[in-house]
Structure 1
């Protein structure tokens, strides 16, 4: 069995520019944020949830756009391995979409959050213990650094919210990236303004965020944005009981 990237040093993973090091760092930050969210309440919790979403969804989008096509090309078992991760990503998208309709303390929020954490941790384990070590066996340090740069560039311009209807694969996810990224990142700032503001400022910011969410929800269903989807990751197909 290959060695998990969680148990390797930066040098073993290919140096600071390697995509494996970047992945490892994001996974460590995910763990930190989960613990911080568990200890937080009210507006602080919502701000931390926004931070986690801004980590998780661009991270996954960049994987699906940059890494998984390479893995499907270089690994005989790449199709099955990446599809399993895409199914986990889809489940996180669907659960988080439900979470966005809740508030801490309403019961439903407390029911969804542990399920989200469980799938996130499963996703991390599958990537660190199975998928990424197999990629490491097939490509050299230079290629890991090249993939790291491409992954980082895509991550910085990727959507920051769940979009369960959008395809997990190209060309759908690639064509949806620009409009959804603009809407998502605008919503992130508007939601912070709504939580931190008072009176008219909070109301206007909240209203604009809800309007942007409605536009994003309609855009998800535009046919080019759903192209390339595997049937097993279509919206509504992956949620667990």
Structure 2
């Protein structure tokens, strides 16, 4: 049975730039943030830590679904589909729970129960990835490719959506196309603290998507010329 990446050295994972090492660092930070949230009393600091956790979890998962899981499905064989489907289902459950959390007010008992459930799901997802999926990827590709994947994964993570969006599919090419404008919107909201109504979000999303698709069409036409 492949060895979990949790117990391996950074060198065994392919170096600090390897996607395996990058994934493990993110997972450790998620654990730290969730523990920090639990240790804090209700208040602004606790809400800030929850926001940081959500931002990290969603950008991390989007980069996995865009960059890593297609490689797993191509490289691992028959098991690749089952392994990635398992974590994609966990991601969808996390998406749905966090969407509910963001609609509820701090201090609401229902909200706190959903936070407890989503933290449990995140920790289960971490174990499934580190114990099952990523060791199989490690067996299938060499260290140089793991480092290349790490660079691509990090680039996508830095521009990925940071909040739940029901319109974003779990697999390419749909997630890549829709994720760009939503990532721009989410990061503006995170930085500026925007509290925009749903109708306005829809208008922003539609406009950004239109701009993205128009740019893609123009690029194709220029290439043909």
TM-score category (smaller protein): 0.7 to 0.9
Cα distance in 1, alignment partners of residues 24 and 93 from structure 2: 22
Name 1:43's counterpart in structure 2.
44
- Higher deviation after alignment, 149-158 or 38-47: 38-47
Q: How does 1:226-237 map to 2 (within 5 A)?
A: none
Query: CA offsets, 1:115-158, max 9 Å, x none?
Result: 00111011000000000000000110000000000000000010
Q: How does 1:198-213 map to 2 (within 5 A)?
A: 208-211=194-197, 213=198
Change (3 A) 1:34 1:162: same
**How far did residue 106 of structure 1 move?**
1.3
Cα distance in 2, alignment partners of residues 216 and 137 from structure 1: 43
Change (3 A) 1:130 1:216: farther
**Secondary structure of 2:167's partner?**
coil
Task: Quote the RMSD (CA, aligned, Å).
Answer: 1.9
Name 2:171's counterpart in structure 1.
169
Retained in 2: the 8 A contact 1:66–1:151? yes
Change (3 A) 1:216 1:74: farther
Name 1:34's counterpart in structure 2.
34
Cα distance in 1, alignment partners of residues 47 and 19 from structure 2: 29
Retained in 2: the 8 A contact 1:190–1:209? no
TM-score by length of 1: 0.81
Cα distance in 2, alignment partners of residues 95 and 120 from structure 1: 11
Retained in 1: the 8 A contact 2:168–2:179? no
Query: CA offsets, 1:139-180, max 9 Å, x none?
Result: 100000000000000000101101133100111111112210
Name 2:222's counterpart in structure 1.
none
Name 1:7's counterpart in structure 2.
7
Name 1:57's counterpart in structure 2.
58
**Secondary structure of 1:56's partner?**
helix
Name 2:150's counterpart in structure 1.
148
TM-score by length of 2: 0.86
**How far did residue 53 of structure 1 move?**
1.5
Retained in 2: the 8 A contact 1:58–1:158? yes
Cα distance in 1, alignment partners of residues 199 and 143 from structure 2: 44
Change (3 A) 1:86 1:116: same
- Higher deviation after alignment, 49-58 or 65-74: 49-58
**Secondary structure of 1:100's partner?**
helix
**How far did residue 103 of structure 1 move?**
2.4
Query: What is the total number of aligned residue pairs between the two structures?
Result: 206
Gaps of 5+ in 1: 192-207, 225-241
